[in-house]
Structure 1
Amino acid sequence: MSTEGTESPFTQSTGSARHAVLAELAAAGPVHRVRLFTGVDVWLITGQTEVREALAHPDIRRSPEQIPHREATPPELAAAMHQHILSSNPPDHTRMRKLVAAAFSRGGVAKLTSRIGALAAELLDELAEAGADGSTVDLVAGFGYPLPITVIAELLGVPPERRADFRRWSVIVTSGPAYPAEVYLGAARELLDFLRELVADKRAAPSTDLLSDLIAVRDGQAALTEDELTSMAFLLLSAGHETTVNLIANGVYALLTHPDQLALLRAESERLPDAVEELLRFDSPVQVTLPSVTAAPVRIGAVTIPAGEVVVPALLAANRDPNRYDLPERLDIAAAHGSHVAFGHGIHHCLGAPLARAEGRVAIGALLERFPRLRLADPAAEPERVPSLLLNGMRELMVRVD
């Protein structure tokens, strides 16, 4: 099905605009032939059943050609940044995922919960001080970002003085197609230099962090290559915080703009786990998965996609699929929509989902408990979204906490 002429949801500047464009697409069917803002023609999948089919299909595979600014990226840079579990297929995917899975298991995350709570309390102290006189504070810069970046940085052993640099590089690299090639490549080279320096430091002085474990791991023939090591470090650092930043900010904004749901959650705090699941569905942190390519003709829904075509499953759209939810645009924390695909599906289901859920529960719960009068600085203004193909995040979220 062709939908040429429909606006691209990925360059829209507000969340409501993105959802409106995706809803228009979904009304026309679950599978669409569209042209991205990069000029590439793809098959965009918006139906939840069809997204699951695509993500589980063995003939829809990740391809090294589907990386940002591929033609301008030197092969050695691409190899050192994009050989990780999200960009690979079995058996390499299976081997690499096994090496890092233990750290992100429910048991591994449980060990981090108290640290997440302590970090949240420290950041909320700072927000309280900054907003004590009624001044507005940015919930993204002051809470949503520093909490998950500190957690993942500590897990991987990134020194505190380098985290601001990493944030600057990560914003550009994870939204690569939205930036000019020279800007993307400049950030990618600086980030790679940093990762190589970090790996060298860990080799010289191993610690108890995950990166030291990955360097030292020996599992028969399953050890990571040097390019896989830097690629995995990049993925874990970037994906390990960017998506959680969006979960926290998008989730809080959704609650503040739905006072009935906020009141219900405040009155019945035991609903928090279900609320996080509904917030993940309602305004997902990720717009689409990494693009894949059909290795053979593939039938998705009623459409046969030829071999060699680029396929883009749209998680943001699938989580508001009108064929799956009676009122997809309604926020309802009592509905417990645990069937969402905010973390993907199949072999590429997000490895860090348990950690993201834990951070979301701790962060949102602590924020609401600490600030009973938390409110938007300007209820009439919708936050600006960061232009991106992959991510669905806000530049800032200005609130009052007094």
Structure 2
Amino acid sequence: MAMALQTGGGPNVSDAHIINGLPGPLYNCSAKDTYKLKVKPGKTYMLRLINAALNDELFFSVANHSLTVVEVDAVYVKPFTVDTLIIGPGQTTNVLLTAKPFYPGANYYMSAAPYSAARPGTFDNTTVAGILEYEYPDAPAAASFNKALPLHKPALPALNDTNFVGNFTAKLRSLATKQYPAAVPKAVDRRFFFTVGLGTHPCPANTTCQGPTNTTQFAASMNNVSFVLPTRALLHSHFTGLSSGVYSPDFPVSPLTPFNYTGTPPNNTNVASGTKLMVIPYGASVELVMQGTSILGIESHPLHLHGFNFFVVGQGYGNYDPVNDPAKFNLVDPVERNTVGVPAGGWVAIRFLADNPGVWFMHCHLEVHTTWGLRMAWLVLDGSLPHQKLLPPPSDLPKC
């Protein structure tokens, strides 16, 4: 990433994806480094899937097996069964896999491959695989992998299959039961509208860049503000009241200049830079609409909020309609999570209760976009009661 920031281009392409640290049999010379999951016929297994990739949303499938989704981001969902799922960086998904009732005499790839609607620059568009292996009933526990058995491969969606992604995410619903209620805020105290997307910075004087043009370098922003990391900790600066020169509490509540967000992009793609925070009172119910843009191409952005879970009350393609779209919001059983994909060429609406005082980072979980500036921070003020206030830093907090 350091080299990418110097050149203004994209990062180096990774050599491989991995499953549990192993690249698997689909890359050159790595077949011996394959993750194998042994199962017994008729048993049901929970697979805890974590996308720890730096820059890829991933499709995941197990050949000839169904997956029942039961949990995302550590929150139960209404179970539904699929052959393939989509999981973004920073997201988790728990699924149930029921093994075949009899020994099948075959092995099965567990495969993952990237999803990207459109991405400038280069990235790792390769498929990684592990192997689901059935234990033979009479074989010793230490029996080795049988290479002679047929090996089935799953059919993964196309790289840019946005319809699949939209259909999958639409199935995610909270349990919304008495034991596991969906406490989505019905009334809203603060409404915000953030654009989310890419842009450019001019190259430094007398230099040539490797960005979209040789005079620009890649950047990313929310509401046209490309976040600059501060030289002092934001939380400590807020707590001590010494925030001057560290950050400004004036992150824009909406784009300064509205435009056709998913249409023909504007000629000027430059973004501003700054360390700006959005300040909200303790206990405020927040509604945030995040609108993807077409600047430098439409793309899905997995946005992660620190410090809170939120409810995904609505999403769609094209430009958000503040008059008609809110009527379609799901306020009954919306999925609750901490990382959500802003659809490629679309928008997503979330709600959360600001009941955790402090400074909380929000950023795209595509690491390259975060590095380019697609991030911001919320400052939730103290409440009136003792348990609603920030605790002081520990006495042994190291000095910078």
TM-score (norm 2): 0.28
Between structure 1 and structure 2, the one with the greater Rg is: 2
TM-score (norm 1): 0.28
